[in-house]
Amino acid sequence: MKKLKSLGKALILLAVFLGYFSPANGCSLALHDWKLVFYLKVPVAAPFFPMAEVSAITSKVPEKSTRQISWVTSSNIFVQLARFFLPLLPDWPAKLPWKVIEPENSVLSLAKGDSNDFTPLVIGSDKCFLKIAFFSDANSNFNCHQLVLLQSNRIRAVFADKKSPWAQEIQGQSWLSLIFYQLPLPGRILSFSAFPIGSMRQSLSEDHSFVEKLLAERKLLRRPDLVIDPYSFDFPELPR
Amino acid sequence: MIICKKILHLSLFFAFSVPFFLNAQTFNTVDLERLLQNHPMMSQFEQETGRFKGTPSEIRNIETLKTDSASISRYIETLNADRKKKLQLLMTSTDESSNEESLWNYLNECDQQIEKKKLELKEVEDLIITEGVPGFETVLKIVTTIKSDIFSHINASNTIVLNRLPRTGANIPPYFSRKVLRDFYWHKDSESLEAYLKQAGRIGLMFSSIDNPVVYNLTTERSSEQ
């Protein structure tokens, strides 16, 4: 209980910290040349937040076709917390109740054996890894940095509809990215973004005026008008 | 002592002369046209279209493309139907002995095949839109390969190359003749000129010999009209 309380406090602090930045429209003014400085890949029991799972369901299963999602994964404190924060996502599966099931039976047998009065949707997450990467921008004389937390896992999902059943295995990937100048302190953070929200990369916060200031002071390299690459705002591919 | 002096002189001679010889550069001239014509890919080059036969740059027949599109679409439909049928059977079956891993393997293979076919279909549909003429990047890819092959051959030794430009006797490819390049000749105004300049990389294809520069005087016709 104590642990839960301290985690709750940490999350509130994080929310306040992120809330410091007012969201702005897409800031794509700077041109970064990200160099990988630090990289760590660790196996984890379960995904910290089922963003990739939500995205997979959204793209394949019609809305209002089920009333509950059975999530087969190792239950831990993060999984319980994730369920609590899920309704914050805009996608329809996030608004449904998520029932966590320990992975004792396979996803398929659970979907077949579910005797509810609605079509069961069972989604399993395993082979989970957390990748932590730290990049520095060569174009800013290595003063601008990006911290990436990426979780990857295997997703197996079964929607046991008799007329049009769906089953698919995909490699789920979701990430959080924090771009800051010199130190990750309030007022020095350029942007905070997440993927996937609504199946896309979403910028949760951007300090447009700070970016403009750094560009004016030539501390960041201005993106030329001709360089139009929607993926260039992200980070280079991480090692396997 | 004398031997020591001789060794010292010899060492000094090598210390100064060897780097000089190593850095010495040879000036050569290279007939790029001949090298270009000798490249294996040039046997596939079609003068009339400016494309390479049997490569993705080749201009395709529109009717064949439409047939291909229909056949790929049918194949995707069949794959999807098979996949759905297999799942439906599995959902209704009470047999627990079936190997689940083999089912996931089948689904993964099926999905990969569908994705591959969808990409193929998109390529064909894009070609139908451009009336069978692949994008200019397909030609550029081949030209870049030829260029790097030729230059890797030239730069085998430490040399400076003075080249002469190759001649390409290509007519205006049909794809460009309907686009801004031709409009530019019809309507001599600054907007067309700007559009024309944006196509700078393609200009070479319009002239029978690209080592003859072409200067276009925008004011000539207007001044003659006045």
Q: Which of A12-21, B97-106, B205-214 has the lowest mean pLDDT?
A: A12-21
Chain A residue nearest residue B91, CA to CA: A112
pLDDT score of B192: 63
Q: Which of A77-91, A182-196, A224-238 has the lowest mean pLDDT?
A: A224-238
The number of residues making up chain A comes to: 240
- Residue A19 corresponds to which tokens in the numbers above? 């809330």
Average pLDDT over residues A124-141: 93
CA-nearest of A164, A206, A179 to A62 is A164
CA-nearest of A225, A235, A15 to A144 is A235
Out of B92, B96, B107, name the one closest to residue A167 (CB).
B107
Please name the residues between 57 and 116 in chain B that touch chain A, using a CB distance below 8 Å: 84, 87-88, 90-92, 96, 100, 103-104, 107-108, 111
Buried b (16+ CB within 10 A) or exposed e, B162-175: eeeebbbebeebeb
Q: Which residues on chain A are in Cβ contact (under 8 Å) with B90?
A: 108, 112, 165
Interface ipTM > 0.90:
no
Q: How far apart are CA A240 and CA A89, in angstroms?
A: 28
Q: Could you report the per-residue pLDDT of B17-27, keeping only the tens digit for each?
A: 444 444 445 55
Task: Answer whether A165 sits within 8 Å of B87, measured CB to CB.
Answer: yes
Between residues A238 and B18, which one has the greater pLDDT? Answer: A238
Task: Answer whether A109 sits within 8 Å of B96, measured CB to CB.
Answer: yes
Q: Which residues on chain B are in Cβ contact (under 8 Å) with A109?
A: 96, 100
- Distance set, CA A178 to CA A11, A24, A147, B6, B116 (Å): 16, 15, 5, 68, 35
State the average pLDDT for chain B: 71
Whether the CB of A168 is below 8 Å from some CB of chain B: the reply is: yes
Q: How far apart are CA B112 and CA B101, in angstroms?
A: 17
Q: Could you report the per-residue pLDDT of A33-77, keeping only the tens digit for each?
A: 899 999 999 999 888 888 999 998 988 888 888 888 999 988 888
> Percentage of chain B with pLDDT > 90?
23
Helix (H, G, I), strand (E, B) or coil at B135: coil
Buried b (16+ CB within 10 A) or exposed e, B125-159: eebeeeebbbebebbeebeeebeeebeeeeeeeee
Out of A111, A156, A164, name the one closest to residue B104 (CB).
A156
- Residue A131 corresponds to which tokens in the numbers above? 């990748």
Contact A153, A57 (CB under 8 A): no
Out of A108, A164, A168, name the one closest to residue B100 (CB).
A108
Residue B216 reports pLDDT greater than 50: no
Q: With bands split at pLDDT 50, 70 and 90, how would you rate the model's confidence at A207?
A: confident
Q: Which residues on chain A are in Cβ contact (under 8 Å) with B114?
A: none
Task: Answer whether B87 sits within 8 Å of A167, measured CB to CB.
Answer: yes
Contact A195, A180 (CB under 8 A): no
Q: Could you report the per-residue pLDDT of A159-176, keeping only the tens digit for each?
A: 888 788 889 999 999 999
Q: Which residues on chain A are in Cβ contact (under 8 Å) with B96?
A: 109
* Reduced 3-state DSSP string for A76-126: CHHHHHHHHHHHHCCCHHHHCCEEEECCCCCHHHHHHHCCCCCCCEEEEEE
Q: How many CB pairs under 8 A join A and B?
A: 29
Residue B137 reports pLDDT greater than 60: yes
